[in-house]
Structure 1
Amino acid sequence: MVAARLTIDLNAIAANWQRLARLSRSETGATVKADGYGLGAAQVSRRLAQAGARKFFVALTEEGAAIRQALGNGPEIYVYSGHMAGDAQSIRNLGLIPLINSAEQLARHFESLPGHPFGIQLNTGMNRLGMEPREWAAVRDIALQAGPALIMSHLACADEPDHLMNTQQADTFRTMTEGCAVPRSLAATGGVLLGPAFHFDLTRPGVGLYGGAPFMDAYPVVELALPVIQTRDLEPGEPVGYNCTWVAGRPTRLATVAAGYADGILRSLSNNTTLWAGDTPCPVVGRVSMDLITVDVSALSDVPETLELLGAHQGVDELARDAGTIGYEILTGLGARYRRRYEGLRT
């Protein structure tokens, strides 16, 4: 088979959740939005539920459907985008809990789904989602009388432990929720690592579950092996790939592997990252194209059937550094063409 192989270690995801849960001075949920950060929401959420997670967070109502189908009734599924127009039937039928972001959403929810569970999201300074302090003050009494399941906000700079914004947001969150007898949540992965002052009643780690920074103690979750289609020998002066961005300066053995930017391997990695054959580094040379990457394998006496892009020598954050991005983008960009193999899959 030509398709590259993506191996996803569900036991590592579960172990990362358990580690973060031990660090949390509160209940611990799990963020499984964007198809479980690109790794398969159904498989990921089932394994996390087996590990003990009971509260799950997604970005969109549509994403909640996949989690509910995977988990059945029981676990709570929160929707960060709140109650959008046209979502009432799905929210009711799937038993989702929208995190209300505005007075407008609050009115929509009360009118279309009276008595249905909801949460509240507050803007404490990130200025992305959530009610403004004045808006919250205007509807607070009405909202609290209806018994929200959760009040939450989100940290903008949790991956920078010394950033002043962290303390400012935590203080604002405390002020906005003072006197509310409702469970509160502020911390995702970075917030868990900031310490108990940020944990409140519920943490909801995301990227750390999948082996990404800033959780440096995370177990690695993904391995990606790219099959070699062809090898050839180049003489000095011969170019490689589109626009001839790399030219052999010496006799070079070249391998062409089956993957490219259609598979989430970013074009910015052209001439700027490494594949591995065991412990031997093999640099990418030439442009990353849609379906193919060319690799200098001159250091190998024998070229294996596959070369490793993600694995023991290079994780998602190292690859992201080479690409000039973040591990989140690498994970969520992993393409649909990979042959996915799940380790630790339980029935």
Structure 2
Amino acid sequence: MGTGHLTIDLDALAANWRALDAMGSAETGAVVKADGYGLGVAPVARTLHKAGARRFFVAVAEEGAALRQALGPNVDVCVFGGHMPGDSEMIGDLGLVPMLNSLEQVLRHFEALPGHPFGIQLDTGMNRLGMEMSEWAAVAEIALQQKPVLVMSHLACADEPDHEMNTRQLAEFHRMTDGIKVPRSLAATGGILLGQEYQFDLTRPGIGLYGGRPFEEARPVVTLELPVIQVRDVEPGESVGYGNSWIAERRTRLATVAAGYADGITRHLSNRASLWHGDAPCPIRGRVSMDLICADITDLPETPDSLALLNGRQGVDDIADIAGTIGYEVLTQLGPRYTRRHPSA
């Protein structure tokens, strides 16, 4: 086949959920937004449901519709983006639970879907989504009378355990919610790792499920093998790829693989990262182009049929470090041309 093979280890995914679930006494949900972080929401969510997750989180109502189709009616599907204009029918018909994050959304939801389940999202300092203290104080009595299923906020710096923002947001969440008789949620993956005082009634792991930081003990979930299309020898002084950005200093054997920035492999890896053949690194030579990458296989004892971008030697965070980004971005940009394989959990 002419496309890369993206293999998602569902056993590892389930093991990561169980490991995070075991870190406290709170209920453990699962964040499966962005098509299960780019790995396929249906197999990902079914695996997590089988592992024990009963409450799932997506970004927008349309993602909730896909999740509901995958899992059926007997799980909670919560929508971080809340109740947006035009979403009332979808939310009502599919039983989605919007996390209302503004006075406007509270009014919209109560008017359009009275009695329909909802949650509340509060801003404890991240200044992204959620009601600040003044807004919450204005609507809290009315909202709480309608019995929300969850009140939540989100930590800005949970991947930095010593950051003072963590304790500041924890204190603010207590100030805004202590005394209410509603389940509370503050911790995603990083918050779980901060300890039980951050976990409240429900946790919402995301990136840790998929093998990324800050859950250092996570099992890797993704491997990516790229097929070799052509092998050639270049002589000293010859250049490779667009812009002549790499020039051979010795006689070099190159493998050209079928993948590029159209498949989510950023040009920032040009001349900096390696592909792998087993335990042997094969440095990328020249620029990553739209559909093709060249790698140096001079020192391999054999000509490979494929080379790996993601494997046991190089994970999403390793790629992210080279590219100057984060593992979330590496995962969610993996393109649609890959043949995705989901060995059963």
Taking structure 1 as the reference length, what is the TM-score of the superposition? Answer: 0.99
- Distance across 2 between alignment mates of 1:143 and 1:103: 10
- Distance across 2 between alignment mates of 1:158 and 1:344: 32
- Distance across 2 between alignment mates of 1:256 and 1:175: 58
- Distance across 2 between alignment mates of 1:158 and 1:301: 45
User: Shift of the alpha carbon at 1:280?
Assistant: 1.1
Structure 1 counterpart of 2:333? 333
Give structure 1 stretches of 5+ with no counterpart: none
Please give the secondary structure, in 2, of the residue aligned with 1:212. coil
- Distance across 2 between alignment mates of 1:272 and 1:83: 44
- Distance across 1 between alignment mates of 2:322 and 2:344: 30
> After superposition, what is the alpha-carbon deviation per residue over 1:26-61, rounded to whole angstroms, capped at 9, x for unaligned?
000000000000000111001100011000000000
- Distance across 1 between alignment mates of 2:243 and 2:129: 43
Structure 2 counterpart of 1:163? 163
Give structure 2 stretches of 5+ with no counterpart: none
Structure 2 counterpart of 1:62? 62
Identity score, percent:
65
Structure 1 counterpart of 2:211? 211
- Distance across 1 between alignment mates of 2:198 and 2:67: 27
- 1:272 and 1:284 in contact (8 A); partners too: yes
- Distance across 2 between alignment mates of 1:266 and 1:28: 33
Structure 2 counterpart of 1:139? 139
Structure 1 counterpart of 2:116? 116
Root mean square deviation of aligned Cα: 0.6
* 1:93 aligned onto 2:102: no
User: Shift of the alpha carbon at 1:197?
Assistant: 0.7
Q: How many residues align?
A: 345
- 1:81 and 1:100 in contact (8 A); partners too: yes
- Distance across 1 between alignment mates of 2:213 and 2:344: 23
* 1:299 aligned onto 2:299: yes
User: Shift of the alpha carbon at 1:24?
Assistant: 2.5
- 1:3 and 1:338 in contact (8 A); partners too: yes
> After superposition, what is the alpha-carbon deviation per residue over 1:224-250, rounded to whole angstroms, capped at 9, x for unaligned?
000100011111000000000000011
- Distance across 2 between alignment mates of 1:24 and 1:171: 20
User: Shift of the alpha carbon at 1:21?
Assistant: 0.2
User: Shift of the alpha carbon at 1:270?
Assistant: 0.5
User: Shift of the alpha carbon at 1:25?
Assistant: 2.5
- Distance across 2 between alignment mates of 1:331 and 1:294: 22
- Distance across 2 between alignment mates of 1:261 and 1:232: 22
Structure 2 counterpart of 1:182? 182
- Distance across 2 between alignment mates of 1:206 and 1:72: 21
Please give the secondary structure, in 2, of the residue aligned with 1:223. strand
Please give the secondary structure, in 1, of the residue aligned with 2:8. strand
- Distance across 2 between alignment mates of 1:204 and 1:278: 35
* 1:280 aligned onto 2:280: yes
Please give the secondary structure, in 1, of the residue aligned with 2:342. strand
Please give the secondary structure, in 2, of the residue aligned with 1:286. coil
- Distance across 2 between alignment mates of 1:65 and 1:315: 31
Structure 2 counterpart of 1:32? 32
Structure 2 counterpart of 1:148? 148
User: Shift of the alpha carbon at 1:304?
Assistant: 1.0
Structure 1 counterpart of 2:5? 5
Please give the secondary structure, in 2, of the residue aligned with 1:179. coil
User: Shift of the alpha carbon at 1:329?
Assistant: 0.4
Please give the secondary structure, in 2, of the residue aligned with 1:36. helix
Q: Which amino acid aligns with 2:205?
A: P
- Distance across 2 between alignment mates of 1:59 and 1:277: 37
> After superposition, what is the alpha-carbon deviation per residue over 1:89-125, rounded to whole angstroms, capped at 9, x for unaligned?
0000110000000011000000000000000000000
User: Shift of the alpha carbon at 1:285?
Assistant: 0.7
Please give the secondary structure, in 1, of the residue aligned with 2:281. strand
Q: Which amino acid aligns with 2:219?
A: Y
Structure 2 counterpart of 1:77? 77
- 1:24 and 1:203 in contact (8 A); partners too: no
User: Shift of the alpha carbon at 1:301?
Assistant: 2.2
- 1:234 and 1:253 in contact (8 A); partners too: yes
Q: Which amino acid aligns with 2:95?
A: G
Q: Which amino acid aligns with 1:202?
A: L
User: Shift of the alpha carbon at 1:151?
Assistant: 0.1
- Distance across 2 between alignment mates of 1:321 and 1:178: 39
- 1:9 and 1:222 in contact (8 A); partners too: yes
- Distance across 2 between alignment mates of 1:344 and 1:202: 27
